[in-house]
Chain A
Amino acid sequence: MSILRRKREPETVETMALPQCSPIGETQPRQRVCVSGKVIRMTARPTSGQPALAISISDETGTATAVWTGRREIGGVTLGRKIAIEGVPVLHGDHLEFTNPGYTLLPR
């Protein structure tokens, strides 16, 4: 039952580590990237008759937006929460926007 011995081997390949993120300010659009920050804004952004959830996250280097289509809320995603976002962002005017990215809730 090697899973029970897992605690002595924290660095196995498949063990879930926290994602490696880069600063928002250094992120280029159209490349797969991970950024992390604190949720500073959450809005319901209904479009074309369907609900959508938009959040803005901020680290010391900048702010980025993530939009999830078809949802009004995501468990654990609240104002002030630290979260990592992973996906391919678009440049929307002057800021980056991720559509339906992967996310990881980070410890407080």
Chain B
Amino acid sequence: MHVIVVGCGRVGSEVALNLASTEHDVIVIDRKIEAFRRLGDDFKGTTMVGVGFDRDVLTEAGITPDCAVAAVTSGDNSNILIARVARETFGVKHVVARIYDPRRASIYERLGIATVASVTWTSARVLRHLLASESTPDWIDPSAKFTIIERRVPASAAGTSVGSVESASTGRVAVLSRFGEGTIPAPATLLQEDDVLHVVMPADSGALLDAALNTKEGSH
């Protein structure tokens, strides 16, 4: 997948280096050419000097609806602009924006933009949100019997009840984050697109959770 990382600070460079060493095709955009020094000499991706919410720059960076965009500059406002332009002008589905101010995060989550807050941020979380592939465990208990998995709810699972996801996955939804705010859901709570679930479940049941969240609209 083609990934555009905007912002080559500590976060952006780490995300870019991680991605470039896998099979993804990475381009890093930054306003300042000196920022690319953080990538080192062996960086396998490409770099571009420019403003990340400029349509011409993004077009030149190869933006398409199937690519992924990480808005990880040091400014919340820039990150939101980049995220919205990527999503709304270019139709990119996999967009994540790093937000320092948690109060702003909830407003931006309502715009349908996945935000990663600075406090809990790691490049691993950014990558996980960006690539939105199978559930990866946040935590494994000492006995290695249980894990906590973080998963973003896809649009196709909207309307499913928490209870039915719990039964199907044999886990418990410990925390549901909606529009940037975490709560403990009731079994009757209906899932919505972009909700972030933290699910406690038996260690090897990840596939059951994936299956439970990939149900089609018709079943509820």
Contact = CB atoms under 8 A, between A and B. Distances in A.
B212 interface: no
B168 interface: no
B97 to A, nearest CB: 13
A70 B111 contact: yes
Contact of B111 (A3, A69, A106): A69
Contacts of A12: 184
Contact of B112 (A10, A71, A107): A71
A16 B176 contact: yes
Interface residues of A, number: 31
Contacts of A17: 186
Interface in A22-47: none
B110 A70 contact: no
Contacts of A4: 172
Contacts of B217: 75-76
A3 B172 contact: yes
A51 interface: yes
B184 A75 contact: no
Interface in B111-136: 111-112
B158 A69 contact: no
A100 B111 contact: yes
Contacts, number: 78
A75 B188 CA distance: 18
B57 interface: no
A105 B188 CA distance: 11
A12 B120 CA distance: 25
Interface in B139-187: 153-159, 172, 174, 176, 178-179, 182-187
Residue of A15, A76, A100, A101 with highest tally of chain B CB at under 10 A:
A76
A10 B112 CA distance: 29
A6 interface: yes
Interface string B72-104: 000000000000100111000000000000000
A75 B157 contact: yes
Contacts of B35: none
A50 B112 CA distance: 15
A75 B183 contact: no
A7 B189 CA distance: 13
B192 A15 contact: no
B184 A3 contact: yes
8 contacts: A10-B186, A69-B88, A69-B111, A70-B88, A76-B193, A76-B217, A100-B110, A107-B188
